[in-house]
Amino acid sequence: MKSLGLLVLRLVLGGIFAAHGYPKLFGGQRESEKLSDGTKSALGEGFVEQVEQGGVSATAGMMESLGLPNAKATGWALALVEFVGGIALIFGFKTRPMALALAFSQAVAINKVHATEGLVGGYEYNIALIGGTTALAIAGPGKIALDR
């Protein structure tokens, strides 16, 4: 049952991270026009807006506005960690290092974006993601995974 619980955790967290990484990696106005109506309704208007405003250059611009060094490289790193890391979690591939990288990305998000907003309405979502990814980094992927 432990492995089933870890699979559920990996699927949920991996799906969330992949959905957040997709716009950062592949987004742009033209890409949003390619989304099917089913995708738009399933992932929500927020996802469509992120895809429209996304792409690596937009992500790099966000990194620059946050004062992070090497904005283009940092933007690529974030986009890849979220999207590829999310997919890796889903399949249970390189679970521990991917989970740690994802947890680190959320710690940076708290530090650079959400810290002044407080827990409720601020960084509680990021803390939940850190908790889940840290649990996966400690426990591993379980038996239902490519890592096994």
**DSSP secondary structure code for residue 84 in this structure:** H
Burial class for 53, CB neighbours closer than 10 Å (0-12, 13-18, 19+): middle
**Which residue is listed with tokens 């992070």?**
68
What are the tens digits of pLDDT across the range 65-123?
999 999 999 999 999 999 999 999 999 999 999 999 999 999 999 999 999 999 999 99
Name the residue among 148, 145, 147, 146 with its Cα closest to residue 6.
145
**DSSP secondary structure code for residue 98 in this structure:** H
- Residue 68: what pLDDT? 93
- Distance CA(10)–CA(104), nearest Å, equals 17
Name residue 135's amino acid: A
Q: Would you kindly state where each structural domain of the chain is located, as residue ranges? A: 2-139
Whole-prediction pTM: 0.92
What are the tens digits of pLDDT across the range 48-62?
888 888 899 999 999
